[in-house]
A and B are shown apart, each in its own frame.
Chain A
Amino acid sequence: AIQMTQSPSSLSASVGDRVTITCRASQGIKKDLGWYQQKPGKAPKLLTYTTSSLESGVASRFSGSGSGTDFTLTISSLQPEDFATYYCLQDYNFPYTFGQGTKLEIK
């Protein structure tokens, strides 16, 4: 199975900050990666797919980049509603695998 190593596991930041979260795949996955946001008690929400495509309705401050084994999610200017846990998911092949998650907290 492909392993997805996500970092950092937690992050403290302030409103207005630029934040970057990374995922590294144990083997090449082309661009078959998505990013998800999860708030406590809620189902995950898709942010980006195929590495850099923004899901409809998602704020443009979210962006994804990368290819092969290294991927990033960037939030250009943190808003109060962005404090949540973020996960990457490789959908290159079965079994799909998630990163361990990044908890984004208010500094």
Chain B
Amino acid sequence: EVQLVESGGGLVQPGRSLRLSCAASGFTFDDYAMHWVRQAPGKGLEWVSGISWNSGTKGYADSVTGRFTISRDNAKNSLYLQMNSLRTEDTALYYCAKDSAIGRYGGISDWGQGILVIVSS
């Protein structure tokens, strides 16, 4: 069974940084691309970032480009999101998500339960 467990969220002031982590289990982590998706309170889903199985390619939403950095450690079965220069509009539930395709990008097949990030002074 695929398990994705996020950690590292919390309350942070505008302009500060936060690093989210995602511990993955139940599948061969280094076979799959991974993603972060967020959902602001009462709003829809927003794809934030994705990373290929070998970290060779990465992508970002326009809203976070230059501020957020995605990374992974295949030896630790872990995904990360470094969030810098946080803004109040970054307040959201952040989901770690597994890609559906082996060795390439596809859709999103599995989701964690999410971790809340609140950016407020």
Which A residues form the contact surface with B (CB < 8 A)? 1, 32-34, 36, 38, 43-46, 49-50, 55, 87, 89, 91, 94-101
A95 contacts B106, CB within 8 Å?
no
Q: Are B106 and A44 in contact (CB under 8 A)?
A: no
Among A1, A36, A55, A96, contact of B50 (Cβ-Cβ < 8 Å): A96
B112 touches A49 (CB 8 A): no
Q: B45–A43 contact, CB under 8 A?
A: no
CB neighbours (8 Å) of B59 from chain A are 94-96
* Chain A positions within 8 Å of B95 at CB level: 43-44
A1 near B62: Cβ-Cβ < 8 Å: yes
Among B46, B95, B107, B112, the one with the most A-chain Cβ atoms within 10 Å of its Cβ is B107
Binding site for A on B (CB under 8 A): 35, 44-47, 50, 59-62, 95, 100, 105-114
CA gap between A106 and B110 in the complex, in Å: 27
- Contacts across chains A and B counted by CB atoms under 8 Å: 63
What separation, in Å, do the CA atoms of A1 and B48 have in the docked complex? 13
- Looking at chain B's contact residues, the main secondary structure is strand
Q: A43-B112, A95-B62 are in contact. List 7 more A-B contacts (CB 8 A).
A: A49-B107, A49-B109, A50-B107, A91-B106, A91-B107, A95-B60, A95-B61
Instruction: Identify 17 residue pairs between A and B in the complex whose beta-carbon atoms are under 8 Å apart, listed by A's number.
Output: A1-B62, A43-B111, A46-B100, A50-B107, A87-B45, A89-B45, A89-B108, A91-B107, A91-B108, A94-B59, A95-B59, A95-B61, A95-B62, A96-B50, A97-B47, A100-B44, A101-B45
Q: How far is the CA of A49 from the CA of B99 in the complex (A)?
A: 11
A32 to B61, CA, bound (A): 18
Cα–Cα, bound, A97→B111 (Å): 16
Among residues of A, the one whose C-beta sits closest to the C-beta of B96 is: A43
Residues of B within 8 A of A1 (CB): 61-62
Tell me if A95 and B47 are in contact (CB < 8 A).
yes
B37 CB to nearest chain A CB (Å):
8
Q: Give A99 to B44 CA distance when docked, in angstroms.
A: 8
Which residue, of A34, A36, A50, A96, has the highest number of chain B Cβ atoms within 10 A? A96
